[in-house]
Amino acid sequence: MKNATIRRAVQRAFTAAGDVAQSGQLIRKTAGDHVPGSTLVETTRSVAIRFVATEKPLSVRHTAADTVIVPACRHGLLECADMVPRIDDDLQLGQVLVTLMQVVPADLGAGILYEVTYQ
């Protein structure tokens, strides 16, 4: 399957999800060069995303009792075509700001759909 076909399918699925797919921002913080004695300068880059929360992850191992090993974490599917999300990026969903703890590509290399764990 071509990457362009996968990307269109993911975009259609998130559009069809309606209000279940929240709009938000993926925020990447990058520290600049640090000069001793000066204030550390941090730059941010923000891109638009769509997000669907999921009840439990597909990629996290479970215990024998079928409980999530890290219960404080939350999970979801992230549609982001403009930047590959990574650990420690922030996710702004409305007034809520969370930090990504795990990012797993979920689109056969098309670069648009990611399963994320956040806290």
pLDDT, tens only, 63-94: 555 555 555 789 999 999 999 999 999 999 99
d(CA 75, CA 98): 11
Number of separate helices (H) and strands (E) present in the chain: 1, 6
pLDDT of residue 21: 96
Q: 14-61, pLDDT tens digit by residue? A: 999 999 999 999 999 988 777 788 887 788 999 999 999 998 755 555
For residues 103-110, give the mean pLDDT: 92
* CATH classification of the domain holding 69: 2.40.10
The SS3 assignment for 92 reads: strand
pLDDT of residue 14: 96
Bridge partners of residue 48, in order along the sequence: 25
Asked whether 112 and 84 are in contact (CB, 8 A), the reply is: no
Instruction: Name the residue range of residue 57's domain.
Output: 3-118
How many domains does the chain fold into?
1
pTM: 0.81
